[in-house]
């Protein structure tokens, strides 16, 4: 009898994959290449220009690195699936994808929190910025950004991997918490642990970000036009990324926690937004909205006449 780690799980979230398999492949391949190019450009520009070796830009580069890792954990499998006659994944591979999906997603929230704190110190306490946002502080934020989600997800992943499956068709195209619907019995510890992780790597960072930006808005409102301009230029891209990312992540919570029975088309569309929007549009938002990065992008691609 086939053991649990060799069990194949059917990915039942595709719509007319036989009819549109090459359309799926071409579109996703184009998106993946764009994700690689956009994020590598942001990382390269920040890496080579010393004037961008500041906390804010280092955190942006870390977000772009996360997008590269996230996309690499998702897209190659999508390519294989749409070109195969059967869309399936082994239980082990599914659990591994689940680990990277939530680890990197949680890392994004913590890095966005670090960026919010950086903006708070820069705008609200500018005289303390050099000492507060030191190299040591930035390093601690980066380590926590990857270590905290990974350490918690290792425990959750290990528990999920031990669960016995009674159903073998996943209502999606990627492995997320929807896999819990395949378990014969879902232990209470999984629900408790999922709620604990969700609070630690999502709710608390979001509340912290909202608190810091409220403080920034209060200081900017009472300050001169230069401070308001600085707040708008540096905070607006972060807020755009946070809002879009939070809205997309809420879909996973709605599906996994509330167990809503959505149509296959709606699930596919929302899943595609999760794997497309954030990795692709984040570097575009930062590249266009952050003046220093945009200046170097124009020089890199000889776009000197663009404003």
User: Quick check: 258 pLDDT over 60?
Assistant: no
Is 75 or 245 the better-scoring residue by pLDDT?
75
Stretch 250-260: mean pLDDT: 62
Band the pLDDT of 40: cuts 50, 70, 90.
very high
Asked if residue 257 lies in contact with residue 181, where contact means CB atoms within 8 angstroms, the answer is no
pLDDT of 268-282, one tens digit each?
877 788 888 888 888
- The confidence score (pLDDT) of residue 224 equals 67
- Output DSSP code: residue 11: E
4-300 belongs to which homologous superfamily?
Rhodopsin 7-helix transmembrane proteins (1.20.1070.10)
Alpha helices for the chain (secondary structure H): 17-48, 55-83, 91-124, 129-132, 135-161, 188-198, 204-222, 225-258, 264-289, 291-300
Q: Lowest mean pLDDT: which of 176-180, 235-239, 300-304? A: 300-304
Q: Which whole-number Å values give the CA distances from 67 to 1, 41, 104, 129, in the listed order?
A: 39, 12, 8, 28
* Residue extents of the structural domains in the chain: 4-300
Residue 261, Cβ density class (10 Å: 0-12 exposed, 13-18 middle, ≥19 buried): exposed
Non-local CB neighbours of 38 within 8 Å, separated by 6+ positions: 280, 283, 284, 287
User: Quick check: 118 pLDDT over 80?
Assistant: yes
Is 178 or 234 the better-scoring residue by pLDDT?
178
Structure tokens at 144: 């926590």
Stretch 79-93: mean pLDDT: 89
Band the pLDDT of 2: cuts 50, 70, 90.
very low
**How far, in Å, CA of 138 to CA of 153, rounded?**
23
**How far, in Å, CA of 301 to CA of 299, rounded?**
6
**How far, in Å, CA of 51 to CA of 250, rounded?**
36
Stretch 157-185: mean pLDDT: 87
- 91-124 vs 135-161: helix axis angle to the nearest 10? 150
Non-local CB neighbours of 100 within 8 Å, separated by 6+ positions: 69, 70, 73
- The confidence score (pLDDT) of residue 307 equals 46
Is 266 or 23 the better-scoring residue by pLDDT?
23
- Output DSSP code: residue 301: T
**How far, in Å, CA of 262 to CA of 247, rounded?**
17
């Amino acid at each position: 009898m086939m053991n649990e780690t060799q069990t194949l799980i059917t990915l039942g979230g595709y719509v007319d994959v036989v009819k549109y398999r090459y359309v799926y492949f071409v579109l996703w391949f184009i998106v993946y290449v764009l994700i690689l190019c956009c994020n590598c450009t942001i990382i390269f520009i920040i890496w080579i220009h010393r004037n961008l070796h500041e906390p804010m830009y280092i955190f942006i580069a870390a977000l772009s690195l996360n997008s590269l890792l996230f996309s690499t954990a998702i897209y190659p499998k999508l390519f294989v699936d749409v070109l195969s006659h059967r869309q399936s994944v082994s239980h082990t591979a599914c659990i591994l994808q689940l680990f990277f999906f939530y680890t990197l997603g949680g890392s994004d929230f913590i890095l966005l929190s670090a960026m919010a704190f950086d903006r708070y110190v820069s705008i609200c306490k500018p005289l303390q910025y050099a000492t507060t946002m030191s190299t040591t502080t930035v390093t601690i934020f980066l380590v926590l950004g990857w270590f905290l989600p990974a350490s918690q997800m290792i425990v959750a992943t290990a528990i999920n991997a031990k669960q016995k499956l009674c159903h073998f068709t996943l209502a999606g195209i990627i492995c997320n918490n929807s896999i819990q619907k395949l378990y014969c019995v879902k232990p209470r510890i999984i629900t408790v642990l999922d709620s604990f992780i969700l609070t630690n790597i999502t709710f608390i960072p979001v509340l912290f970000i909202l608190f810091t930006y409220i403080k920034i808005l209060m200081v900017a409102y009472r300050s001169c036009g230069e401070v308001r301009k600085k707040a708008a230029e540096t905070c607006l891209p972060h807020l755009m990324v946070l809002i879009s990312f939070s809205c997309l992540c809420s879909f996973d919570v709605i599906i996994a926690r509330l167990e809503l029975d959505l149509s296959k088309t709606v699930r596919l569309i929302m899943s595609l937004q999760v794997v497309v929007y954030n990795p692709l549009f984040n570097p575009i938002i930062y590249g266009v909205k952050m003046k220093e990065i945009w200046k170097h992008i124009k020089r890199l691609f000889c776009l000197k006449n663009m404003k």
